[in-house]
Structures are given as structure tokens and as C-alpha cells.
Structure 1
Amino acid sequence: MKNSPVLSIVVFSVLRLAAFLVPFTLMMMLPAFAGLWWLAALFAALIGLSISVLFLRRPLADATTAMANRRAARTAAAEKPRSEREIEDEIEDAANDEAQQG
């Protein structure tokens, strides 16, 4: 059974947050980073980015595929087929424009 699109996006987001929050929490427990929370946040962001690039390729691919599929479905649903009357009106307008020009 295939995962739902929303589930893959949520899984990637949670894993990405964990890749930042775990190193940040561990660094904040160290006495060296007690007063330098911004430095701990910077290092945690770099560590989280590295973990994401190295280990979260598949969840990222699943999330981006799910988002692309949702967008394609939304645009396909938004494009309604033209009626026969609209097509005839366009042909008539083109013929009138051509007759006026030449």
C-alpha cells in the first residue's frame, strides 16, 4: 500500500525538525553553550542540514513527488473543458477580426 501524500510530507518535516532539535538540545546541555544559544543553534542547523542531505534523500523525494502530484491534480481539476459554444464563439471572433483587417 502506498503512503498518502500528506503522510510523506509530515514524515519528512518531523525528521527534519528532529535533525535540528536533537543536536540543539544536546549542545544546550553542555556548559560551553549555556550562554551562547545562538552558536548552538548555528551548529545545530549545520548538523541538521548535513544529516538531511546524507540520510533524508528518500523522504525528501517522496514529499516532493507528493507535492507535485497534488499540484498537478489541482491544476487539472481547475482546467474545465470548453463548451462547444465557446469554441464557436472563438472561431467567429477570429473570422470577424480577419474580415475587418483585410
Structure 2
Amino acid sequence: MRVRSALLYTVLRLAAFLVPFGLMMLIPILREYYWLSAIFAALIGLSLSLLFLRRPLEDATAGLAERRTPRLSDEQVEDAAIDEPPAPTA
């Protein structure tokens, strides 16, 4: 897995939440109801990530999918080629 792409996506997602949350905490009424600010910031962060973070998400998931696919060793490939029956000739 490419650690850089996963780390970049994580940092951008955190920024998409923390920046709106910080801006809302500047408003006096929302400072009292910090839980409401957190809910709004989560909704804004989710919306921003769906709109603008598609490419970093694809890079991170491609790295995860690449890591999950089993890799065959040379010996396994050779054994599979030997075990296959010969193709019928016409």
C-alpha cells in the first residue's frame, strides 16, 4: 500500500472537518453548543470530501486493493503451468 496516498487522504479529511469546526467555534452561540458545531462540521466535511477528495480516495483504495491481491511466487506460477493439461491441437 502506498502510505503516502493514505496519509494524504487522512490529513485532507481531517482538515475538511477541523477547518469548518474551527470557524464555527468563532461564533459565540455555537461555542455554547459545541456538539451542534461538531455535527455541522461533520456534514460539511463529508460533503467536501465527496466533492473534492475523489482522486486521493481512489489512490488510497487502489493501494489497499493492490495489497490484498495475492501475489504468486515464480515457483507457484511454474507449478501451475506444469500442472495444466496441454491444450488440444486441431
Q: If the length of structure 1 is used for normalisation, what is the TM-score?
A: 0.68
Q: Is 1:45 aligned to residue 42 of structure 2?
A: yes
User: In the alignment, residue 12 of structure 2 is paired with which amino acid?
Assistant: L
Q: Is 1:68 aligned to residue 65 of structure 2?
A: yes
How far apart, in 2, do the equivalents of 1:70 and 1:9 lie? Answer: 13
Q: Which of the pair has more CA radius of gyration? A: 1
Number of aligned positions between the proteins: 76
How far apart, in 2, do the equivalents of 1:34 and 1:17 lie? Answer: 20
Give percent identity, aligned residues only.
56
Question: Any unmatched runs of 5+ in structure 1?
Answer: 85-102
Which has the larger share of helix? 1
Question: Any unmatched runs of 5+ in structure 2?
Answer: 80-90
1:1-102 alignment runs, 5 A limit: 5-72=2-69, 75-76=70-71, 81=76
How far apart, in 1, do the equivalents of 2:20 and 2:2 lie? Answer: 28
